[in-house]
Amino acid sequence: MPFDFDQIVEHTGDDDCAACRAQDITAAFLMPAVSAWEISHNLPRFSLAMHGASGLLGVMLEEGVERSEIETALSQLLDDIERQIEEDKVLGGPPQGSA
């Protein structure tokens, strides 16, 4: 399979880190837009977030990526996010958006 999850999920620790750049774009543009769309379309909170995320992951399934690999990578990302939330709590700062 010509696709490497580690390349997009794991941090490289430099300025070119794909994981950091993708997280930054998501937090700056995607999360506020999804929230605004939910409100403007009178949809329950998180409805677009869940369907959007699963729809995007569905594109990966369509392209032949194994579901188990997606689930493993997603679990790893959620672990990272939970760890970040806990760190932010310890530091006393407000969480950024929902991540």
Positions in the binding site for Zn ion (CB under 5 A) = 11, 17, 19-20
Question: What is the closest distance, in whole angstroms, from the C-beta atom of residue 76 to Zn ion in the complex?
Answer: 13
Question: What is the closest distance, in whole angstroms, from the C-beta atom of residue 5 to Zn ion in the complex?
Answer: 15
Nearest residue (CB) to Zn ion, 48 versus 73: 73
Question: What is the closest distance, in whole angstroms, from the C-beta atom of residue 19 to Zn ion in the complex?
Answer: 4
Contact 11, 19 (CB under 8 A): yes
Rounded to whole angstroms, the Cα distance separating 2 from 84 reads 30
Nearest residue (CB) to Zn ion, 19 versus 70: 19
Question: What is the closest distance, in whole angstroms, from the C-beta atom of residue 41 to Zn ion in the complex?
Answer: 33
Instruction: Please report, for residues 3, 35, 68, 70, 81, the alpha-carbon distance to residue 63 in angstroms, rounded to integers and kept in the order given.
Output: 11, 28, 14, 12, 26
8-state DSSP, 89: H
Nearest residue (CB) to Zn ion, 19 versus 30: 19
Nearest residue (CB) to Zn ion, 17 versus 49: 17
Secondary structure of residue 35 in the 3-state scheme: helix
